[in-house]
Each structure stands twice: as C-alpha cells, then as structure tokens.
C-alpha cells in the first residue's frame, strides 16, 4: 500500500473541495484533493454560479478569467402561473460587482478551480481516487484510506476535510449524527433541445398539480420536473407516453420534440431530494463542509454557493494555522468548531426557507386539482419592481456572505 503525506487532505473534488483546495494552496498550505471520478463531466449537476460566488472570484483576482469561459447570464428569475408571468427576482438591483447568475456547466467551473489551484506548487488533485475510510489514532483522525487507479492508498494528513457530498463516506465513517429535516419532493432532470425559435431565458412553469423549472443552457433546456417524494414508481407505472403528455401540457412548445429527446427512462434522471445537516460538523482531525455537512434542496439553486461560502470560511479560519508549521494538532482542532459556528446560522436560515417553500408552496401545488392562481405576494413583486431586490438578495447573496481574507505575505 502506497503512503502519501500532506498537511490537508480534502475528500471530494466538487465546488467546496476544489475551492478550499485553491484557497489553502494560495496560503502556501500543502493540500491534496481527492476526486473519485476521472473527470468532472457529469450531467445535471448544478450549473448556477451566483453573485456571491462571483464576488469571491473577484476577491481572488480571477473573475475576468472565469467569465472568459463559456457561460450565459441570468439577470432575473420568473415563473409562469396559469398564463401569467410573475417576475420574482432581479439581480441587477443587487449592489454587487455582477448583477447576474452565471450559468456555466459545473465541469467548466471545477476545471477552472483545479487549473487555478495547480498554479500553486503546494496543490495536488488526484483523480480516480476515492476516499473509503478514516485513519483514527487515539481518537483523532490522522488520515484517509483511499482507492486509487494504481491500488490502495494511505494518506496521512494533519487535517482531513470531508467535502464528498450528501452521501458522504467520511461523515458516515466518523459516526457524526445527522438531523433529517425532511423533503416531500423529488426531481426528474432531463435535457430538451432548444430551437432557434425558443425565447431565451431561464424560468419556471406552474400548471395544475405540476411544476417544472427550465434552465437555459444555450443549445438545450435543462429541465427539473418536480414530483412527490417516492412518486417515480407511480409515474413509471403510467408509462413514458403519459409522462411526456403531462410535460407537453405544461410546456406546449416542447410537444413536438419530447419523444425524440426523451426516448426512454434512461434519459430521465431521478434526484432524490434530501434536506439535512450534521449536528456536529467536526471531530478531532476532521471537518465536514458543503453537502457533507448540510444537504440542501434544489430550490433556488443555492446549494453550490452555500458550499463555496463554507470553503471560504474554512479557508479564512484554518488557512493561517495550516500554513504555520509550528501549529500543533491540538491548536488546529480548537479552530474546527469556529467553522461550524460561522456557517451554522446561514445554513439554518437557508434550510428553513427551503423547507417552508417545500411544505407550504410546492407540496400543496403538487396536490392541487385546481388551476393555479397568481399568489398575492407575487402580484406585489409584479407591481413594485424594486421589491424584487429582496428575493434577489436571498438567492444571489444569502445570509452572512463570506469574503476572502487577503493572503498573508511570507516573511
């Protein structure tokens, strides 16, 4: 078994893991990021890079290079309800450098973060390397057991960070207790061809007992069809033609292209939605961030950006200590609760809003047999455009946004 040594080992090459790896490498920390896949090319990962994340990239001096990569800009959020359009959020009203959401495939975002990380000599990313367990000595995590492309690995580290997603292997191995907040919905993800005659722009459509979000990806629509939790078997039992008919009734312009774009159930991916968080995000030698610490609903598309905020907070709090060779394991462990303390409030606020939206808006909508009507709150947003800055801030910035601390100059 090969053995590697590093100051910090991050399990998971998603947004939280790659961003933290970049931030630590920027601070001069020897950091190793493990990614179980050979690349980042996977469909239906979140593609929204919100204004808060764009602000972080600006603070790192990377915004211009980032926006040079292929992307689209979403300046607002709207939803069509019963033939009426509700304008919900206008990101141009935010006092930020970028008044839009950058719609970029997540593989582009992750490739960008990895490329920037590799500009630093202390950054390493191992693809095809899966974290399988923790190395615990005397009640403290001192490393990771992993499976690499060339066989098993033992990675010794002063700090291990679990950023391996909502089905985190490391949080399970650590035995950290999870609080399930409940999710009454699942989501069916699929691609539908975008025709030149289609009006551009992302949004949502609400029909009788149905809701779909349409994300404009330039050459195709990324569609999120919301269903009851566990409802996929009943939908499949009715047959694919019945599902496509329901979809076409909700988005009539798709009627002539759904059969070709969605020829079988393999073209329709199920996302089992969960909303949960760890009661404690850490134990000596280990910290969990991102979805490994708190799984989010896809509502608002904020999960990725909350994970980025976790990474920034962790980098700010832990970076100087990890960069100091004299910092002892005990001193490092004493800082881990500060990351949770910093990020717990925005996590609670965001999850509370998501759970309320699921239980009070989306679930009743799916149960409804009546034609939908425009809610009074949305009528207000239509009538008074300035109010759209409030939901824009909630989605685009969120509670307690993080800012990158300047890198310390080496003496």
CA torsion 211-217-222-224 (nearest 10°) is -40
How far apart CA 319 and CA 344 sit, in angstroms, is 19
Mean pLDDT of 217-235: 91
Which pLDDT belongs to residue 46?
Answer: 60
pLDDT in tens, 156-168: 999 999 999 988 9
Beta-carbon count within 10 A of 371 CB: 12
275 CA to centre of own chain: 13
Which pLDDT belongs to residue 232?
Answer: 95
Mean pLDDT of 367-389: 91
Whether pTM exceeds 0.85: yes
Which pLDDT belongs to residue 408?
Answer: 62
Q: In the CATH hierarchy, which top-level class contains the domain 2-181+274-396? A: alpha beta
CA neighbours within 13 Å on the CB side: how many for 64? 1
Closest CA to 7 of 322, 408, 317, 314: 322
CA torsion 165-168-171-176 (nearest 10°) is 90
Closest CA to 215 of 291, 310, 308, 106: 106
Contacts of 284 (CB under 8 A, 6+ apart): 139, 140, 141, 329, 333, 336
Which residue intervals of 32-132 are DSSP H helices?
51-59, 63-67, 106-117
Which residue intervals of 120-239 are DSSP H helices?
169-174, 232-238
Which pLDDT belongs to residue 411?
Answer: 41
The dihedrals phi and psi of 272, each to the nearest 5 degrees, come to -80, 110
Element (H, E) at 19: helix 15-26
Answer whether 186's CB lies under 8 Å from 227's CB: yes
Beta-carbon count within 10 A of 210 CB: 19
Query: What crossing angle do the helices spanning 303-323 and 329-357 adopt, rounded to 10°?
Result: 170
| 301/356: higher pLDDT | 356
239 CA to centre of own chain: 32
Neighbouring-strand partners of residue 31 = 8, 123
Contacts of 267 (CB under 8 A, 6+ apart): 190, 191, 261
Which pLDDT belongs to residue 201?
Answer: 79
Percent of the chain scoring above 70 in pLDDT: 97
Q: What is the mean pLDDT of the chain?
A: 92
pLDDT in tens, 22-65: 999 999 999 999 998 876 656 545 678 999 999 999 999 999 99
200 CA to centre of own chain: 24
Residue 124 has pLDDT above 50, yes or no: yes
Element (H, E) at 383: helix 376-383
Q: Is 286 helix (H, G, I), strand (E, B) or coil?
A: strand
pLDDT in tens, 244-294: 999 999 999 999 999 999 999 999 999 888 999 999 999 999 999 999 999
Which pLDDT belongs to residue 365?
Answer: 87
Please report, for the chain, how many H helices and E strands are present, in that order.
Answer: 13, 21
How far apart CA 174 and CA 155 sit, in angstroms, is 16
């Amino acid at each position: 078994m090969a053995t590697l040594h590093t100051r910090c080992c991050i399990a998971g090459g998603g947004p939280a893991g790659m961003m933290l790896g970049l931030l630590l490498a920027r601070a001069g920390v020897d950091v190793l990021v493990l990614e179980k896949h050979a690349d980042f090319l996977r469909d239906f990962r979140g593609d929204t890079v919100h204004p808060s994340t764009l602000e972080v990239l600006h603070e790192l001096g990377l915004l211009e290079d980032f926006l040079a990569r292929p992307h689209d800009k979403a300046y607002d959020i709207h939803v069509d309800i019963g033939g009426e359009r509700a304008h919900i959020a206008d990101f141009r009203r935010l006092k930020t450098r970028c008044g839009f959401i950058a719609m970029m495939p997540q593989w582009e975002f992750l490739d960008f973060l990895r490329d920037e990380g590799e500009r630093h000599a202390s950054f390493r990313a191992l693809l095809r390397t899966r974290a399988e367990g923790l190395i615990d000595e005397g009640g403290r995590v001192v490393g990771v057991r992993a499976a690499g492309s060339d066989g098993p690995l033992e990675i010794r580290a002063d700090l291990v960070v679990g950023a391996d997603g909502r089905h985190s292997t490391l949080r399970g191995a650590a035995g950290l207790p999870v609080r399930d907040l409940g999710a009454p919905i699942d989501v069916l993800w699929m691609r539908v061809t975008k025709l030149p005659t289609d009006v551009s722009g992302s949004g949502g459509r609400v029909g009788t007992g149905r809701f779909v979000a349409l994300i404009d990806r330039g050459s195709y629509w990324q569609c999120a069809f919301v269903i009851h939790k566990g409802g996929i078997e009943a939908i499949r039992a009715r047959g694919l033609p019945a599902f496509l008919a329901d979809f076409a009734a909700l988005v009539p312009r798709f009627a002539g292209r759904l059969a070709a774009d969605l020829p079988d159930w393999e073209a329709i991916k199920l996302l089992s939605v969960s909303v949960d968080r760890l009661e404690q995000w850490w134990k000596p030698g280990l910290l969990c961030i991102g979805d490994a610490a708190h799984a989010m609903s896809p509502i608002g598309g904020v999960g990725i950006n909350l994970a980025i905020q976790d990474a920034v907070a962790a980098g700010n709090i832990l970076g100087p200590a990890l960069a100091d060779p004299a910092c002892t394991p005990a001193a490092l462990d004493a800082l881990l609760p500060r990351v949770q303390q910093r990020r717990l409030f925005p996590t609670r606020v965001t999850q509370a809003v998501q759970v309320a939206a699921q239980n009070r808006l989306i679930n009743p909508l799916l149960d409804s047999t009546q034609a939908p009507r425009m809610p009074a709150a949305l009528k207000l947003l239509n009538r008074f455009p300035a109010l759209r800055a409030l939901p824009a801030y909630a989605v685009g910035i969120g509670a307690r946004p993080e800012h990158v601390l300047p890198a310390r100059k080496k003496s």
